Amino acid sequence: MGDQERDGRSSDLDVVRLQLSQKAAGDGSKPTLNPLARQVANQLRDTSHSPNMVIGQLRLFEFIGLSIIALVLNGMEISGSWRVHLALVVTCLFNAGFTALLLQLTDTYQLPSLRRPLAMAARIVGSYVTACAVTAGAMYMLLREDGYSWAGFAWWVAAGSVFLLLERSIVGLAIRHWGRNGVMERRAVIVGGGQAAKDLIRSLERHDNDIRICGIFDDRTGNRSPDIVAGYPKLGTFGELVEFARLTKLDMLIIALPISAEARIMELLRTLWVLPVDIRIAAHANKLRFRPRSYSRDGGVPMLDVVDKPIRDWDGVAKRMFDILFSVIALLLLWPVMIGAAIAVKSTSKGPVFFRQKRHGFNNETINVWKFRSMYTEMSDPSAVKAVTKNDPRVTPVGRFLRKSSLDELPQFFNVLAGDLSLVGPRPHAVHAQTGDLKYTEVVEHYFARHKVKPGVTGWAQINGWRGEIDNSDKIKQRTAFDLYYIENWSLWLDLKILFLTPIRLLKSENAY
């Protein structure tokens, strides 16, 4: 019996390796999803609202609301010098900020608490009254000689309490409505079927959480992995999961396999980590136990964090604001250069000023990237199958200068404003780009991991000398390595460093033709 079990596990592992090697390498042969999986994928194309983002916006709204109430009511109660008004503003803002902190410490910003505002009413009002009591002590010290009306302070406390209770009631209704309609949720797929998946689903259902299970993927069939597990359908195999994830807006992949199945999990991770999602291993049913701090609790279930989605939630907002701000600044400064480049392109060769090329974008999506045309129109190569080389006859004299100086990339600032590109990130490559006779995906095993974030106008690889012609395998391997380093170590400071080093490093570039 033991030999049969080992043979069965070996057979399963062989199936996994075959499926992943054939279908997940990103070599252009996309696996075909079954009709049910495609239907579910079409339903999940729209982006849901991240609970962390909604809660963050709620904190900001409550801070602003409480500040306005305090400033308006206190402004009607006191008059005096600028020192008095400054002290008043400071104490009002302190009160709002301290209230938000206490609401956080009393767990009233947790999703289950937000769904039940009446049950949390005592904590909410208690947090606010405590903040007001501390504020009253500060005001007594600062304004005791300026005739402050404490009757007005009582109205301030009452108005703030009513605001919080009313606002939280409305938010509770909205969150329950969004949860029912799939507007605010974390979308998860169970990787692995059978009893392990069933136990995981039951554990998630026992807790009040924001996780929506979208389906199950497993290579096994029959009794070991039935088509329906705990009411959820099996949508396909592991190889098909990669294609499914690229068509949908998934947030999380939860591996429902025992940690002891090390070889099988490693094979899965080698493929799945290229996707821009959180990857977790469910630990609720594993006999192997680690220290409590080793686990996170997603949906109330202990899990091992394997891969985190990069640049998520508020980091994504900050990066988007960074992109818009510096793109607008760049366009305001460089518009004369862009007009001059457009005139030079149009006056020296026939054809359009701009050149549009299909390239890989975020999550392997295809985007249209704009450049100033640098080739003769009749010789242009939108597919980029044949890379541009030194003294390439297809490149115009003006185009050669534009490419050497990277001025041909300036129209991509409009791609940034449209949201297809970021200012800083892995450079987008043409869909059919290759080195020699090999596509990039055939040279670099984890090439598509570059697409876990938006591609950029410039990037870490470019300022470290890896730009221009890719005429051998080592160059694309090095570019990919630098791109993955950027993704793993991203920060706004790193973006700012890359942005300001780009024009300096371009002056030393020798590989752009």
Q: What is the Cα Rg of the chain in Å?
A: 28
pLDDT of residue 290: 56
DSSP string, 423-444: EESSPPPBTT-EETTEEHHHH-
| C-alpha span between 127 and 380 (Å, rounded) | 66
| C-alpha span between 310 and 277 (Å, rounded) | 8
- E strand or H helix at 368, and its extent? strand 366-372
| C-alpha span between 275 and 385 (Å, rounded) | 25
pLDDT of residue 383: 67
Q: What is the 3-state secondary structure (H, E, C) of 233-272?
A: EEEECHHHHHHHHHHCCCCEEEECCCCCCHHHHHHHHHHH
Alpha carbon separation from 149 to 81, 131, 139 (Å, rounded): 16, 19, 11
DSSP for residue 50? P
Nearest to 256, CA basis, from 275, 290, 230, 294 = 230
pLDDT of residue 148: 62
- Residue 370 — φ and ψ, nearest 5°? -100, 145
Q: Which domains does the chain have, with CATH numbers?
A: 2-48+185-309 (3.40.50.20), 51-181 (no CATH), 314-506 (no CATH)
SS3 213: strand
> Can you list the positions of beta strands (E) in 287-327?
296-298, 301-307
Tell me the pLDDT of the chain (513 aa) as tens digits.
444 443 444 444 444 444 444 444 444 456 678 888 888 888 777 767 778 888 889 999 999 999 999 888 877 655 666 677 777 888 889 999 999 999 999 999 988 888 888 999 999 999 999 999 998 887 777 666 555 667 778 888 999 999 999 999 999 998 888 877 767 788 889 988 888 888 888 888 887 778 888 889 988 777 777 888 888 888 888 888 888 888 888 888 998 877 667 778 888 888 788 888 888 888 765 555 555 555 677 767 888 888 888 888 888 889 999 999 999 999 999 999 999 999 999 888 888 999 888 888 888 888 999 999 888 887 777 766 666 767 778 888 888 888 888 888 999 999 999 999 999 999 988 877 777 667 777 777 778 888 889 999 999 988 888 776 676 777 888 888 999 999 999 999 999 999 999 888 776 666 555
Predicted TM-score of the model (pTM) = 0.76
- Provide the token pair at 414: 């409009």
Give every CB contact of residue 184 below 8 A, 6+ residues apart in sequence: 48, 49, 50, 51, 54, 175, 178, 210
